[in-house]
Amino acid sequence: MNIRSFLRLSAHIQMLPILESGEETLVGGQAVMEGVMMRAPHSYCVAVRKPDGEIVTEQSPLPRVSEKYPIFKLPLMRGLGTLGHAMWLGLQALRFSANVALAGTAPESEKPVQLSGWMMGIQLTFSVLMFLFMYKFLPLLLATQIGHMVPAVHGRTAVNLIDGAIRLVLLLAFLYLVSKMKDMRRVFEYHGAEHKVVFNFESGQPVNVENAQKFVTFHPRCGTSFLLVVMLIAIPVYALVPFDGFLAKFLARIVLLPVVLGVSYELIRFAAKHQQGLMAVMTMPGLWLQRVTTKPPSDDQAAVAIHALESAMALEKSQGGELVIA
């Protein structure tokens, strides 16, 4: 794998929290390279379209993490379990789609390059370090420097507010830059296809390309909305940290990340059930941001999302259970 491919895949991994729905719902999904992964309560399927037009799939039963480990049924803990499981599944789906893409670029006389487990491990480690640098270390460093240079904002609360504002700016800048990448725009189109097909399913109408294309690409359970809530919740949580030293504050941000994720998940979960008043206002920025992370899909892209959903549902049915949330 060359440097360009390494960085492209790293960008995709960075986008995983944005492209997937981590909440335990009836159906949900995630956009991958030239395809879509769809989840039913106990099954999943990744469908990817090859350059020759053929759709290839990978599917498997998928035990719910809250059933396997009852501790993840508890408030706050259920968010960590669900999101961790969603990220693990997202990496598996991304790896499958990347291998299909690599196979399509390999000469017929050569054996296709495959992403091994250790290669994905290196990618994941690099992406986690980049995340910590971009959204934990760099914002805190810049906010601390601004606090030193401007006495009026030297206080702990002011520095935390500046820190939070810088994190948001970095997130928006990152999304804007990746949206200019040709292959990432394709992923955003598949992201839109996933949302349209989920809306189509939830409406009770027959799931087909014509019906799916009638729906919008902005879905309230999207990871884009969740990540924006995480950024906002982090501001008051980090403001409670009783440290003034840079290293202590940086380490506290890492340690408190599970708390921020757990609280954010509960808030998004509550908002999804009470989409009126203050909750509607809080989720609105995430829907606006999806104008960047989702794009209108073609009929072919919607067909891939439908193929993934139908395969996941068929596998769910074959396991003998009703299609309900456990």
- pLDDT, tens digit, 9 for 90 and up, residues 101-145: 777 665 555 565 666 677 778 878 888 888 899 889 999 999 999
- Average pLDDT value for residue range 74-99: 82
Confidence of residue 326 (pLDDT cuts 50, 70, 90): very low
User: Cα–chain-centroid distance for residue 41?
Assistant: 18
The pLDDT tens digits of the residues spanning 55-67 come to 999 988 877 777 7
Q: Is 276 a residue whose pLDDT tops 50? A: yes
**252: helix, strand or coil:** helix
Q: Is 300 a residue whose pLDDT tops 90? A: yes
Six token digits for residue 322: 């009703």
- Average pLDDT value for residue range 313-325: 68
Q: What's the confidence (pLDDT) of residue 325? A: 37
Confidence of residue 23 (pLDDT cuts 50, 70, 90): low
Spatial distance between the Cα atoms of 268 and 100, rounded to a whole number of angstroms:
34
- Average pLDDT value for residue range 250-267: 88
Q: Which residue has the higher pLDDT, 4 or 34?
A: 34
Buried residues in 24-45 as b, exposed as e (16+ CB within 10 A) = bbebbbbbbbbbbbbbbbbbbb
Q: Are 141 and 249 in contact (CB under 8 A)?
A: no
Q: Is 191 a residue whose pLDDT tops 60? A: yes
- Average pLDDT value for residue range 163-171: 91
Confidence of residue 324 (pLDDT cuts 50, 70, 90): very low
- Average pLDDT value for residue range 173-190: 87
Confidence of residue 245 (pLDDT cuts 50, 70, 90): confident
Closest CA to 171 of 13, 14, 5: 14
In Å, the largest CA–CA distance within the chain is 67
* Runs of H (alpha helix) within 70-214: 77-105, 117-132, 138-149, 156-179, 182-203, 209-212
Q: What's the confidence (pLDDT) of residue 86? A: 80
**140: helix, strand or coil:** helix
Work out the mean pLDDT of the chain and round it to a whole number.
Answer: 81
- Average pLDDT value for residue range 172-177: 87
Number of C-alpha atoms within 13 angstroms, CB side, residue 257? 13
Q: What's the confidence (pLDDT) of residue 157? A: 82
